[in-house]
Structure 1
Amino acid sequence: MTRSPADTPPADAEPSVSGRLLRSARFPAILLLISAAAGLLLANTPAAEAAFAVQHFTFGIVGTAFDLDVGHWIADGLLVVFFFTVAVELQYELTSGELRSARRAVLPAIAAAGGVAVPIALYLVIAAPGGVAVGWPVPTATDIAFALGVLAVFGRGLPSALRVFLLALAILDDIIGIVFIAVLFATDVNVWMLLLALVLTVGIGILSRQLGGRGTRAIGVSIVVLAVCVWAAVLASGVHATIAGVLVGLAVAQYPGMWTRHLLEPWVNGLVLPLFALSAALVTIPAVGAGGLSPAFWGIFVALPVGKLVGICGTAWIAQRALRVPAAARLAFPDLIAAGALGGIGFTVSLLLADLAFASVPELRDEAVLGVLAGSTASLVLSGFVVSWRARVHLRRPV
C-alpha cells in the first residue's frame, strides 16, 4: 500500500538482506504460498497426527477466554498484529492517501462494492440450495500481499493509475472484511468488556499524540500495555479478537503508528502470516471425487476467480461511463480485467472468514478452506497471465 515518505524510513535504510526481502512485494507472497502448501501437505501425510496434535495443544488460563489451543492463539493472538498493520495503513489512506477525498475514492469504492456483491450472489446461487448459505462472506476478500506480489513479478510497465486503483480497491475491501468479522461473527457479546476496550482505545489515541516530548519511553510502554489490554478485553467480549488490532491501528497517531508498522512489517510477513497460512491450510483433503465435495467448496471456488473478476471489472467499467470520466483518464477494459483477476486472490482474510463461518462444522470448514486455496490459486494463475499480457502491451506503446 502507498505511504508518505515522511511516515516511514526509506527502503534502503534497512540494514539486513532478510529485512529487505521481508519488506519486498514478491518474497512475502511466495513465503505465504509455501506455508499454505506446507500445511496442506502436512495434513495429508503420515506427519498429520503430530501436526494436528500441535495445532490442538491447549494452554492459557483455564476456565477463561484465554485458554486457547495453538491454532486459536495464532488466529486470535498473532493475527491481531497483522490487522493492526492493516488498520494503520487504512488510517493513512483515509486521511492522507488515495482515499482522502470522495472524488478519488468513488470509482474504487464502486468497484469494491461490485467485487463483494457479485461473489456473494454467485456463492448463494451455487451453495444456498445445499444448505450452506452461511459461507457467503468467504469469497469477498482480496489479499493485498498476493496482489502486490503478482504485480511486482509480472506487472512492470503497467500504468500507475491501475496500481493506484488496485491499492484503493484492496483497502476498501479490507474495510468490508473487517466489518464482516466484527458484525457477523460476534458471539454472546459482553457489552461491558467491549466498552472497556473502546475506553482503552481512546486512551491509546490520546497518549500516542503525546509522543515526541519528555517521557516518550514511558508513554510508549504505556501504549503497549494498553494495546494488550484492548486485545484481552475484545477477546473476552465475544467479538473476534482481530478487531482489537483494528481499533488500536485506527486510534494511534499516524506518525508513531506508521513507524510501528514499519518495525512490525518483517515479523508480520515472515512469521505471523506464514504461521497463520500453515495452520489454516492444515486440512485433510476429502477422499471423494469432485461430485462428493460440498456446495460450500464449489461456491467459494467459483465465486473467488469468477465473481471477483466480473464484479470488479463490470462495475468499474460501468462506473467510469456513469461518472463521465474523461476518455483519456479511464482505465482500459483489459486493465480492469487485470484488476478483477488480482482481486480474486482471497487467501488470508478469506481463510479467516472460512474458519469463522464454518467453525461449528469442521468438515465443512475444511472444504471451505480448500475452496479458498483452489479459488485463490486459480485467480493467481489467471492474474499472472493477464497482468503480464497487459504489461507487455503497455511496454510496447511509444512514450
Structure 2
Amino acid sequence: MAIFRSERAAGLMLAIAAAAGLAIANSPVGSAAIALRDTHASTGVAVFDLSPGHAVADGLLALFFLLAAIELRHELTRGELASPRKALAPAIAATGGVVVPALLFLALVRDPAESVGWPIPTATDIAFALGVLALVGRGLPRRVRAFLLALAVLDDLIAIAIISAFFTRDLAPVPLLLAVPAIGAFGWLSTRTTPFPVVRTVLLVVLGITAWALVLTSGVHATVAGVALGLVLAPRTAVRVRHALEPWVNALVLPLFALTASMVAIPAVREGGLSAVFWGVFVALPVGKLLGITAGALLAARLAPRAERASGLRPREILVVATLGGVGFTISLLMAELAFRGDPELVAAATLAVLSGSLVALVVGGVTTALVARRSRLSS
C-alpha cells in the first residue's frame, strides 16, 4: 500500500478515474451506468437510504475531509500556519483565489437561478495540485510546496464553510445538536490510553459513524462531520488514523468519487449549445484562480516586513502556485452537485466545465511548474 501514499499516484489515479467516468457515461452502457449510480436501495433506515453516488459523495468523501482536517490542524499547530505571520501570505492568496473566481463567474452568469453556482470555481484540489508538483517540480525550493499546501488547506476550509452556509437545506437542529456530544466524546476518547486498544478503536469508529449519521440527518452536508472529527482528534491518534486511512482514501475514495461525479453524458448539457454556467466555471477556474492567487500573494508580499521578503516566494514561484491552484476537481465537482441539485442539465454543464477547466489548469500548471523547476535546477 506504500505506493498509494504518494501524491504522484493519487493525482494519476484521480485523472484515470475521471477519464473513465466520462468515457463510460458516453459509451453504449452509459445510461445504465448513470441509472445504477443514482438508484436508491431501500434499507429501512432513512439515513442509509443512499444511492451509490450519494454514498460516495456523502459517505466515503467524509474520510477525505477527515484527513484534510487532520492536516489542517497540524498546519495550524506545528506547520506552515503555526503563527499568524506564517499564515498571512497563503491566507491572503487563498482569499484572492476564492473571491476573484466567484466574481468572474457572476460576471459571466447573470441568470439568478444559475448564479447560485458561484462557489464551484473557488476550490483547489489538494491531491491533484500536489501530485503535479511532485511529478514535474523536482528542484523547486521546499517553500513552494509548503505555500501550495497551506493555500490548498485554507482553500478547502473556506469551501467547507461555503458548503455549510449555502448548501444546507431544511436544517434539523436536534440531530445537529446531538452530533456535538458525539464529536466531543470522539475527541476525548482519542486522548485516552487504554490496555484494550481494539476496544477503543471500535468505540471511535462507532462514535464517528454516529456523528456522521446525525450531521447527515440534520441537513448539513455530511462531509462537515469529517472535518469536525479530524479537528478534535488528539495529535498522536491523528497520526495513526492518517497512516491507516491515507492509502485507502487515495486508492479508493477519491477515484470512486471522481468516477461517479464525472459520469456525465455530453449531449445532455443543453440543446442549443453550452450554457452560461459552463463558460462561467470553465473561465473562472483557470483564469480566476490565476489572477486571484497571484494578486493575493503579491499583496501579502508587499505587506510582509522587509526582513522577511527575501525568504518569501519569487514571482515565478507564485506563478507555479497560481496555475496549479486552478485545478478544482474533487471539491468543485462536489460543489456542482450541491449547487444545482435537482437540475441534471446544469449539474452536467457544471461538471463538464470543472473537468475542462481543471484540465486547462493542469496543462498550464504542469508546463509552468516544469519550466520554473528547470530554471531552479540550472541556477542552483
Q: Paired residue for 2:277? A: 296
Query: Is the contact between residue 231 and residue 245 of structure 1 (CA under 8 Å) also seen in structure 2?
Result: yes
> 1:232 aligns to what?
213
Shift of 1:289: 9.5
1:99 offset after TM fit, Å? 0.9
CA drift at 1:275: 0.6
Select 1:372's aligned residue among 341, 354, 366.
Answer: 354
- Equivalence for 1:344: 326
Aligned residue for 1:124?
106
Contact kept in structure 2, 1:120 and 1:136, CA below 8 Å:
yes
Q: Does 1:309 align with 2:290?
A: yes
Provide the C-alpha distance between the structure 2 equivalents of 1:172 and 1:159, rounded to a whole number of angstroms.
21
**1:357-396 residue pairs with structure 2 within 5 A?**
357-396=339-378
Distance across 1 between alignment mates of 2:257 and 2:126: 16
Deviates more, 1:128-137 or 1:354-363: 128-137
Task: Give the TM-score, by structure 2 length.
Answer: 0.96
Taking the aligned partners of 2:268 and 2:241, their CA distance within structure 1 comes to: 46
Give secondary structure in 2 for the equivalent of 1:135: coil
Q: Is the 8 A contact 2:270 2:345 kept in 1?
A: no
User: Aligned runs of 1:180-329 on 2, under 5 Å?
Assistant: 180-211=162-193, 213-286=194-267, 292-326=273-307, 327-329=309-311
TM-score, normalisation: structure 1: 0.92
Aligned in 2, Cα 1:291/1:108: closer, same or farther, shift over 3 Å?
farther
- AA at the equivalent of 1:305: P
1:24 corresponds to 2:21 = no
Does structure 1 retain, via aligned residues, the 8 Å contact 2:269–2:346? no
Q: What do you get for the CA RMSD once the two structures are aligned?
A: 1.6
Q: How does 1:4-153 map to 2 (within 5 A)?
A: 19-62=1-44, 64-129=46-111, 131-153=113-135
Aligned partner of 2:137 among 144, 155, 161: 155
Distance 1:263 1:164 in 2: 23
1:84, distance to aligned residue in structure 2 (A): 1.0
Question: Which position in structure 2 is the counterpart of 1:354?
Answer: 336
- 1:208 touches 1:253 (CA, 8 Å); kept in 2? yes
Per the TM alignment, residue 344 of structure 1 is displaced from its structure 2 partner at its CA by 0.3
- The AA in structure 2 aligned to 1:355 is E
SS state at 1:33 partner: helix
CA contact (8 A) 2:144 2:321 kept: yes
On the 8 A contact 1:130/1:295 being kept in 2, the answer is no
8 Å CA contact 2:268, 2:345 repeated in 1: no
Question: In structure 2, the residue corresponding to 1:224 is in which secondary structure?
Answer: helix
Offset, 1:62: 3.9
Q: Deviations over 1:303-347 (max 9, x none)?
A: 110000110011211221132444422322121111100100000
Question: Deviation of residue 294 (structure 1)?
Answer: 0.9
Given residue 253 of structure 2, which amino acid in structure 1 is its aligned partner?
V
Deviates more, 1:133-142 or 1:77-86: 77-86
In the TM superposition, residue 389 of structure 1 has moved relative to its aligned partner by: 0.7
Q: Which whole-Å CA distance do the structure 2 matches of 1:272 and 1:65 have between them?
A: 20
Identity of matched residues, %: 50
Residue deviations 1:221-241, cap 9 Å, x none? 111111111111111111111
Q: Which moved more, 1:92-101 or 1:134-143?
A: 92-101
Q: Give the Å deviation of 1:150.
A: 0.7
* Cα distance in 2 for residues equivalent to 1:262 and 1:236: 29
SS at match of 2:267: coil
Separation of aligned partners in 2, 1:379 and 1:110: 21
Taking the aligned partners of 1:289 and 1:191, their CA distance within structure 2 comes to: 38
Matched, 1:171 2:171: no
Change (3 A) 1:288 1:123: closer
What secondary structure is seen at the aligned counterpart in 1 of 2:41?
A: strand
Aligned AA for 1:308?
A: K
- Gaps in structure 1 of 5+ consecutive residues: 1-18
Aligned residues: 379
Shift of 1:72: 0.7
Task: Supply the distance in 1 between the matched residues of 2:323 and 2:151 (Cα, whole angstroms).
Answer: 13
